[in-house]
Amino acid sequence: MSRKKDDSLRFYIYLCLKIGSEENVKARRITSTVCDIGSGRYRSIRSGSNGEGLNLKGSDVDLMMISSDFAVYEYFSDIPAQNQKIILVMDTDDTQPCFAKLRILCDRTTLSIPDILAYDDRKGRVLSSKTFKEMQLNLLSTKHKYLDKIHGPCVSDIDDQLDIALCLKCDKWLSHSEQWINRSRGKWPSVDIISKIISCGVLFVPIGGKESINEHIEWRMSFSVAEKFLIFSFSHTQLLCYALLKIFLKEIVDKEICLKGLICSYFIKTLMFWILEESGPLHWRPDNIIPCFQACIHRLSYCVDQNILLHYFIPENNLFYLRFNAINRNKMCNLLKMSYQQGIRCFFGTETLMDYQKCHREINKLL
């Protein structure tokens, strides 16, 4: 075995010890899935590192609560004659890609909606995302005092350890993401995974486009369920590389005050999806994990330099649009280039992986 392959295999074994083996991850996911089972007005889905089976240091708990009171439809023709839910129809006129207004159809349901949640625009009534979040905050904080603020589309606690996103659901796959199904790709994701994802529909979370004058009444399309399917389809080498990128973000990038918050874990996840779609499975081996990590850093550096990271399901949405200015983009690129050159040595000063060099004896026993 070559020196590079030996180094990668040792690091892979170390990551299995620190982050979790395949069996550890499966057990965590079973626990998470059991917690997801719910009934009544809301069904909960765990997202983020905990829902993915990664128990990383500093990871918060992300919950998506899907309301059963509402039903979202893309087209009027999709609406059933009889419905026991509040009917909402998508309106994407004058909205950025990935965002929509949700129009209220009062004549198709016996349920009523509080007037405070409705906003009148030139075309009728829409559901206010801003007021919806504020109402959920009031309801949740009454029962749980530690939930006391709004963070993006979520209700959060003061320490940002728990994020709860109240979601609405469209049971059908959207035409806006139709191209994702049939676009040219390698062997990932499989036809079976694509089929399962399509059957799950799409969620809507209460947050609008930042540059929009209608931000308060827009909702963002969320593919969190689809993304969870994709991550569950990762090989263990791919999952560990994904975990490495998350650690890199939290313990290296975010330690730089001027760079903190510029790249979020969602961007890392999106980056991984694009790379896996374009690369062959033979590349992702335990004895090649270090070059895999470096390739991801190199790709991220390119994306930052070019100010472009396309949404995985709706590529018309550039996630890096107006994300960086000239100064912080240059600093980010320099950090990424330096880390690429260092390889895994960039982790030797991190809290999570700083003891790698001390674990050689334990690793040798497992070789």
State the residue for tokens 């486009």: 209
Mean pLDDT of 233-245: 98
Q: Is the dihedral of CA 211, 214, 215, 219 positive or negative?
A: negative
Q: How far is residue 132's CA from residue 112's CA, in Å, rounded to a whole number?
A: 15
Among the residue ranges 110-124, 167-181, 244-258, 337-351, the one predicted with the least confidence is 110-124
Assess contact for 45 and 228: CB atoms under 8 A: yes
Note the pLDDT tens digit of each residue in 300-355.
999 999 999 999 999 999 999 999 999 999 999 999 999 999 999 999 999 999 99
Same domain for 82 and 136, yes or no, is yes
Note the pLDDT tens digit of each residue in 159-173.
878 888 999 999 999
Residues linked to residue 365 through DSSP beta bridges, in sequence order: none
State the residue for tokens 């159809």: 105
For residue 88, which amino acid is it? L
Domain boundary among 233, 261, 278: 233
Which structural domain range is residue 221 located in?
24-55+57-233
The secondary element (H helix, E strand) that includes residue 65 is: strand 61-67
For residue 68, which amino acid is it? S
For residue 145, which amino acid is it? K
What pLDDT, on a 0 to 100 scale, did the predictor assign at position 81?
78
Same domain for 35 and 143, yes or no, is yes
Q: In this structure, what token pair is assigned to residue 323? A: 């994300």
- Domains in the chain, number: 2
Assess contact for 240 and 18: CB atoms under 8 A: no
Give me the helices (H) in 21-154, please: 22-36, 48-52, 129-143
Same domain for 213 and 310, yes or no, is no
What pLDDT, on a 0 to 100 scale, did the predictor assign at position 38?
56
Same domain for 248 and 201, yes or no, is no
Q: In this structure, what token pair is assigned to residue 264? A: 């979020």
Same domain for 194 and 275, yes or no, is no
Same domain for 275 and 345, yes or no, is yes
Give the contacts of 335 (CB within 8 A, at least 6 positions apart).
Answer: 252, 253, 256, 259
Same domain for 14 and 74, yes or no, is no
Same domain for 154 and 66, yes or no, is yes
State the residue for tokens 């059957």: 199
Same domain for 80 and 217, yes or no, is yes
Q: How far is residue 33's CA from residue 249's CA, in Å, rounded to a whole number?
A: 26
Angle formed by the axes of helices 3-18 and 236-248, to 10°? 80
Same domain for 308 and 366, yes or no, is yes
pTM greater than 0.85: yes
Domain holding 313: CATH number?
1.10.1410.40
Residues in the chain: 367
Domain holding 103: CATH number?
3.30.460
Looking at the chain, the whole-number percentage of residues with pLDDT higher than 70 is 95
Same domain for 43 and 119, yes or no, is yes
Domain boundary among 206, 233, 260: 233
CA torsion, ordered 127, 197, 61, 170, to nearest 10 deg: 10
**Mean pLDDT across the chain:** 90
Give the contacts of 159 (CB within 8 A, at least 6 positions apart).
Answer: none
Q: Which of 242, 244, 243, 258 is nearest to 332 (CA)?
A: 258
* DSSP-derived 3-state class of residue 218: strand
Domain boundary among 180, 203, 233: 233
70, with CB counted inside 10 A (0-12, 13-18, 19+), is buried
Q: Can you spell out the DSSP letters for 264-310?
A: -HHHHHHHHHHHHHHS-GGG--GGGHHHHHHHHHHHHHHHHHHT--B
What pLDDT, on a 0 to 100 scale, did the predictor assign at position 111?
66
Same domain for 221 and 296, yes or no, is no
Q: How far is residue 291's CA from residue 296's CA, in Å, rounded to a whole number?
A: 9
